[in-house]
């Protein structure tokens, strides 16, 4: 009797696996615009026509008062000199060269006043300009970039072959 056990080979195959897990990339851009501020104050122009107007006879109140005060001093001084000169002449009235006739002529006849008409003033107006430079303020812009690259995670499981050898024996022994 021959004994041949039954042998069976059982194989179990687990295939290999690839798994991927991805996270998308992100890009955030924040920008702040640049700013340019320009402040300009207009120039100030001053035209002082006081001196040319005074020459034309249009005086300010203070200048008018000063002018006529000076004119009165000069007139009083001239009147005092004339009166003193006339007194000196009248003191010598008994002399033939006293000049009594000339003194009488001066009292009777006056020279006409001098009139001066000017169309263009001698002194030009005073012109002053106050220039104000522009004020410039520059604020630079700002750019912020936040970049997160994509992340790829991979998982790999190699395949397996599991096998077992199963022996089945049918042994019948007859005695």
Task: Return the residue matching tokens 């687990």.
Answer: 14
pLDDT in tens, 108-117: 777 787 777 7
Cα separation values, 57 from 54, 61, 153, Å: 5, 12, 101
Report yes or no: 124 and 47 within 8 Å, Cβ to Cβ. Answer: no
Min mean pLDDT across 5-9, 49-53, 60-64, 156-160 is at 5-9
Per DSSP, the residues of 114-151 read P----SS-SSPPEEEEE--PPEEEEE--EEEEEEE--E
pLDDT in tens, 107-149: 777 778 777 776 777 888 899 999 989 999 999 988 899 999 8
More confident residue, 45 or 11: 45
pLDDT in tens, 51-90: 888 877 788 888 888 888 999 999 999 999 988 888 877 7
Task: Please name which of 151, 121, 106, 147 lies closest in space to residue 49, comparing C-alpha atoms.
Answer: 121
Average pLDDT over residues 150-168: 81
pLDDT at site 76: 95
Average pLDDT over residues 153-175: 74
Pairwise CA distance, residues 153 & 142, whole Å = 35
Average pLDDT for the chain: 82
pLDDT tier for residue 169 given thresholds of 50, 70 and 90? low
**With 60 as the cut, is the pLDDT of residue 2 above it?**
no
């Amino acid at each position: 009797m021959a004994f041949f056990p039954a042998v069976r080979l059982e194989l179990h195959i687990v295939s290999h696996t690839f798994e991927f897990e991805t996270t998308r990339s992100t890009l955030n851009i924040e920008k702040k615009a640049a700013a340019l501020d320009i402040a300009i104050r207009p120039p100030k122009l001053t035209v002082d026509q006081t001196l040319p107007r005074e020459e034309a006879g249009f005086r300010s109140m203070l200048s008018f008062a000063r002018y006529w005060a000076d004119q009165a001093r000069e007139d009083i001084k001239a009147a005092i000199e004339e009166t003193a000169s006339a007194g000196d002449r009248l003191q010598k009235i008994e002399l033939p060269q006293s000049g009594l006739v000339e003194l009488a002529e001066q009292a009777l006849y006056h020279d006409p006043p001098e009139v001066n008409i000017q169309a263009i003033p001698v002194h030009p107006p005073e012109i002053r300009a106050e220039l104000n430079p522009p004020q410039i303020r520059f604020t630079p812009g700002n750019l912020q970039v936040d970049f997160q690259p994509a992340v790829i995670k991979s998982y790999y499981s190699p395949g397996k072959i599991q096998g077992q050898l199963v022996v089945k024996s049918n042994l019948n022994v007859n005695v």
